[in-house]
Structure 1
Amino acid sequence: MAFIKKSPGSETLAHEERRFARDCAGLALELESADASERRWAARDLADCPDASALLLSRLQREDDASVRELILSTLTRLGDEVAVLGLVNCLRSENAALRNEAIECMKQLPDEVAPIMQCLLADADADVRIFAVNVLESLCHPEVESWLIQVIESDAQVNVCATAVDLLGEVGSAAARDALLRLKARFADEPYMQFATDLALKRLAAN
Structure 2
Amino acid sequence: MALKKGQPTPPCHSPGERQEPRNLETLLQTLLDEDVMKRRWAARDLAEHPAAAEALVTRLRHEKDATVLQVIVTSLGCIANEVAICGLIDCLYSEHTLLRNAAIEVLKELPEPVAPHMGKLLHDPDPDVRIFAVNVLESLRHPQVEAWLLEVILKDEHINVCATAVDLLGEVGSPQSRDALRALKQRFPEEPYIQFAADLALKRIGAG
TM over 0.5: yes
Structure 2, unmatched stretches of 5+, are 1-17
Partners of 1:123 and 1:81 in 2: CA distance: 23
Is 1:135 aligned with 2:135?
Answer: yes
Q: CA deviation at 1:207?
A: 7.5
Name which structure has the greater RCO, CA cutoff 8 Å, separation 6+. 2
Partners of 1:48 and 1:97 in 2: CA distance: 27
Partners of 2:200 and 2:173 in 1: CA distance: 12
Partners of 2:188 and 2:84 in 1: CA distance: 38
Q: Which amino acid in 1 is paired with 2:188? A: F
Which residue is 2:37 aligned to? 37
Q: CA deviation at 1:22?
A: 3.8
Q: Which moved more, 1:39-48 or 1:84-93?
A: 39-48
Structure 1, unmatched stretches of 5+, are 1-12
Partners of 1:200 and 1:62 in 2: CA distance: 44
Which residue is 1:7 aligned to? none
Q: Show structure 1 runs of 4+ deviating over 6 A.
A: none
Q: CA deviation at 1:50?
A: 6.0
If the length of structure 2 is used for normalisation, what is the TM-score?
0.86
Q: Which amino acid in 2 is paired with 1:23? A: N
* 1:146-185 equivalence runs, <5 A: 146-185=146-185
Q: Which amino acid in 1 is paired with 2:195? A: Q
Which residue is 2:86 aligned to? 86
Percent identical among aligned pairs is 57
- How has the CA–CA distance of structure 1 residues 23 and 159 changed in structure 2, closer, same or farther, with 3 Å as cutoff? same
- How has the CA–CA distance of structure 1 residues 122 and 50 changed in structure 2, closer, same or farther, with 3 Å as cutoff? closer
CA distances 1:86-111 after superposition (whole Å, capped 9, x unpaired): 11111000011111111100101110
- How has the CA–CA distance of structure 1 residues 146 and 77 changed in structure 2, closer, same or farther, with 3 Å as cutoff? same
Q: 2:170·2:204 contact (CA, 8 Å) conserved in 1? A: yes
Residues paired across the two proteins, number? 191
Q: 2:50·2:79 contact (CA, 8 Å) conserved in 1? A: no
Q: 2:134·2:164 contact (CA, 8 Å) conserved in 1? A: yes
Q: Which amino acid in 1 is paired with 2:202? A: L
**Relative to total residues, which structure has the larger helix share, 1 or 2?**
1
Partners of 2:167 and 2:88 in 1: CA distance: 24
Q: Which amino acid in 2 is paired with 1:111? A: P
Q: CA RMSD in A?
A: 1.8
Q: Which amino acid in 2 is paired with 1:112? A: E
Partners of 1:49 and 1:100 in 2: CA distance: 23
Q: CA deviation at 1:48?
A: 4.3
Partners of 1:103 and 1:207 in 2: CA distance: 35
Q: Which amino acid in 2 is paired with 1:95? A: E
Q: 2:175·2:207 contact (CA, 8 Å) conserved in 1? A: no
Partners of 1:140 and 1:195 in 2: CA distance: 26
Which residue is 1:192 aligned to? 192
Q: Which amino acid in 2 is paired with 1:192? A: P
If the length of structure 1 is used for normalisation, what is the TM-score?
0.86
